[in-house]
Structure 1
Amino acid sequence: MSIRKILQYPEQVLRDETLPISNFDDSLRQLVDDMAETMYDAPGIGLAAPQIGESLKLIVVDISEDREDKQEFMAMVNPQITVHEGSQLDEEGCLSVPELTAKVKRFKKITVSYQDLEGNAMELVTEDRFAVVLQHEIDHLNGILFIDHLSSLKRNLYKKKVKKWLAHSS
């Protein structure tokens, strides 16, 4: 396992459409292990493959009951939201969008179809906070960042902030 670099906005790969995964082999398991280690090192509760420069439909999410005690995660290959209902407003942040948190409107309850690491078809119904995490990570697979859900004013203020950072770092 190795910790990978988390790419940050405005990296282009974060905006690209990802490719479905069809090979369920050791290299996929290695990528999942790297993503989990990277996510926990950050520290985060979810990570999508594009965030480490891989344009693949793959996410890992923390499912630990108590993050202090034991780290447990699940990998979802080719995840898709198939059913959604209700709405909720929750505070979000993103490892690829540093120094910004904001309230984002998401579905309250979702059904996600995905494959496990062996390629088996799976389905998960979830709601509340875990539904938010999954929607956030699945958005990454479609080139959508959580700032895209913000008002144009908030989004433009953040873009100006990033331009200043980039100007000072070059």
Structure 2
Amino acid sequence: MSKKTAAHADRRGRRRGTPRPIRLLGDPVLRTGCDPVTRFDESLERLVDDMFITMYDEDGAGVAANQVGVPLRAFVYDCKDDRDRRHVGHVVNPVLVAADGEPLVEREGCLSLPGMNFPTPRFPHAVVEGVDVKGRPVRVEGTGYFARCLQHECGHLDGEVYVDVLSGDTRREAMRAIRALNR
């Protein structure tokens, strides 16, 4: 998910991780459901650090592992909710357990479809459950833009991109724009 934000740093102010290239729409890794994480080791921690750095370098609000070419169920996020509270974290093996309320249509973009954004319907409240890099349970609840981010990133891990939830004229406009890019 795309959005400008501050640089990721540990408590001592050092940046961790190495930026990875963002996979663009058309790359098969984006259209394949991701595998569950089964090894909770240093390589998973490194992946999460790399995803944070990549997200910040690309001015994103969230990045799923398959967006950096790793077909595992994990994502990172840094965005605000409808009360302007900032949420920063990651979820491994996430499950979207709730997405509810009257859907809101707002413009949404994606790092894997650079320069594009379209009015996208999303629920204003979402709950995701999973674990952290150590395998400890986490539950993340979001409203507003943060709920949108949680739904967007969970979709990536199922092989979806945000244009898949579009319909009607908006979907046709998005498909024309994507075709024009691929010429």
Could you say which TM-score interval applies, normalised by the shorter chain? Answer: 0.7 to 0.9
Greater helix content = 1
- Structure 2 CA distance for aligned equivalents of residues 134 and 72 of structure 1: 11
**Offset, 1:127:** 1.3
Q: Map residues 23-102 of structure 1 onto 2, 5 A cutoff.
A: 23-63=39-79, 73-86=88-101, 87-102=103-118
**Offset, 1:125:** 2.1
Change (3 A) 1:152 1:31: same
TM-score with structure 2 setting the length: 0.80
- Structure 2 CA distance for aligned equivalents of residues 75 and 115 of structure 1: 9
Equivalences, count: 162
Q: 1:130 aligns with which of 139, 146, 149?
A: 146
Change (3 A) 1:154 1:126: closer
**Offset, 1:4:** 0.5
Gaps of 5+ in 2: 1-16
Runs of 4 or more consecutive aligned structure 1 residues displaced over 3 Å after TM superposition: 152-167
Change (3 A) 1:49 1:102: same
- Structure 2 CA distance for aligned equivalents of residues 64 and 34 of structure 1: 21
Q: Map residues 100-111 of structure 1 onto 2, 5 A cutoff.
A: 100-111=116-127
Change (3 A) 1:63 1:154: closer
What is the DSSP-based 3-state SS (H/G/I as helix, E as strand, rest coil) of the residue aligned with 2:47?
helix
Instruction: Calculate percent identity across the aligned residue pairs.
Output: 35
What is the DSSP-based 3-state SS (H/G/I as helix, E as strand, rest coil) of the residue aligned with 2:94?
strand
Gaps of 5+ in 1: 66-70
Matched-pair contact (CA < 8 Å) for 1:39–1:45? yes
1:8 lines up with 2:6 in the alignment: no
Change (3 A) 1:21 1:161: same
Aligned partner of 2:164 in structure 1 is 148
What is the DSSP-based 3-state SS (H/G/I as helix, E as strand, rest coil) of the residue aligned with 2:20?
coil
**Offset, 1:156:** 4.2
